[in-house]
A = this chain, B = another copy of it.
Amino acid sequence: MTTASLPGSPSPAGASSPVGRTLADPDTPFAVVDVRRVRRNVVRLRARAERLGVALRPHVKTAKSLDAAALLHDGSPGPVTVSTLAEAEAFAAAGHRDITYAVGIEPHKLARVIDLSRRGVTVRVLLDSTEQATFVAAAAREARVALPALIEIDCDGHRGGLEPDAPGLPGIARILHDAGCLDGVLTHAGESYFCGTAEARRTAARAERDAAVAAAERLRAAGLPVRTVSVGSTPTAHAADDLTGVTELRAGNYVFFDLVMAGLGVCGLDDLALSVVVTVIGHRPEHGWILTDGGWMAMSRDRGTAAQPQDQGYGLVTDLDGTLIPDVVMTAASQEHGTLSARNGAALPDLAIGTRLRILPNHACATAAQHHGYHVVDGTRGPAASAPVITAYWPRVTGW
């Protein structure tokens, strides 16, 4: 594990390094990552990708951490997907040379892409229109740099992209090809986040593969060379049984997982690597509430499990060691207050003011985004077994 130095500003609470202290030490709320779970999650998907015979291009948008990324490819800077140019620049500065920026490109952002390209970094851009292909091709010609582009394919009506049989697809590919910009096709089965059975996710994975491969074959049949055929989402990446024709698999959330993924059955609760340490600050027994200092500022406003059969509120509750406290849920949030309630007829535990707990989030990407970095634990205990020891601090890449 890389032990990153603390970011200059902003630093975690207390302003001095938390490394070597325990989860009982920094002022709350703060984010914690269990690196043992990250390693297990990473190994699991890497093994799947190897079995399926595809390259893995993890999406770093969830952790946004160079330290977490160092675990993805056994320490070497392998291929990654990013959601912002700030991520692309930070990962490039750390030695990553093979980056896919998986958000539709617009003209203003090309200057930073070209700048990375001139520094020897491959940044694939994403597009789904003649308009975009035209300005990318023109920019590549004018700047005399490689601007490899992926055409976004829509497999499930979730967001952007062209359907594989869209009339405009070959024309877009031709514009890119003529400028030396055609790299391939990319699809993302965003609707798989609502597939509550393994069979539904397997079906979504097949549809994702079929859409990408059909688009690639259509272009190849038109004499347009397609190198990259990229698919992926955390649910489909863990369900795919045959990726014939696909060259690479993407997934991001799996590094941490979360209650949404556990609710779908993509992972178990024991796989959740991210949590937020909070402190009990009050009691309202007449309402059945325990109040904490972890509100939506610490957890995000994400209520991703609200649409699932088991609504988990703003998160489930564990003790400071990470052991689940059954039937206690974070049911409400204001900016710096969390409300814990019991369900299923359980009694609310008797927790003194000052007691520290951990909240498992609905949506790791959103909760992580509320923090500047992660206090990393690996199972090491303090001298008096007081609390898990913080063995590293991983700063996050922020901004755009």
Binding site for B on A (CB under 8 A): 7-13, 27-30, 61, 83-86, 103-109, 112, 128-129, 131-132, 157, 159-160, 190, 279-284, 287, 291, 293, 296-298, 300-303, 334-337, 339, 352-354, 363, 365-366, 369-370, 372, 398-400
Contact = CB atoms under 8 A, between A and B. Distances in A.
12 contacts: A27-B108, A27-B109, A28-B108, A83-B335, A83-B336, A104-B291, A106-B353, A129-B283, A159-B334, A160-B281, A296-B366, A372-B399
B282 A30 contact: no
Contact of A400 (B8, B29, B104): B29
A354 to B, nearest CB: 5
Contacts of A10: 86, 398-399
B291 A160 contact: yes
B303 A61 contact: no
Contacts of A106: 279-281, 293, 353-354
Contacts of A337: 103-104, 159-160
B83 A12 contact: no
A334 B27 contact: no
Contacts of A190: 334
Contact of A301 (B86, B281, B303, B398): B303
Copies in the complex: 2
A103 B293 contact: yes
A28 B400 contact: yes
B85 A282 contact: no
Contacts of A132: 353
A217 to B, nearest CB: 23
Given A112-B27, A160-B337, A366-B296, A282 B13 contact: no
A353 B160 CA distance: 13
Given A104-B291, A106-B281, A339 B8 contact: no
A299 to B, nearest CB: 10
Contacts of A108: 27-28, 279, 354
B103 A336 contact: yes
B131 A352 contact: yes
Contacts of A103: 281, 293, 336-337
| Pairs of residues from A and B, 6 with the lowest C-beta to C-beta distance, nearest first | A104-B281, A301-B301, A301-B302, A160-B282, A104-B282, A83-B336
Contacts of A7: 9
A301 to B, nearest CB: 4
A399 B11 CA distance: 8
Given A157-B287, A291-B160, A27 B85 contact: yes
A91 B11 CA distance: 17
A107 B28 CA distance: 11
Contacts of A369: 297, 370
Given A106-B354, A300-B301, 8 more contacts: A7-B9, A28-B400, A30-B400, A128-B282, A131-B353, A159-B334, A160-B281, A369-B370
Given A86-B13, A160-B291, A291-B159, A27 B301 contact: no
A399 B293 CA distance: 13
A12 B399 CA distance: 7
A301 B399 CA distance: 17
B339 A159 contact: yes
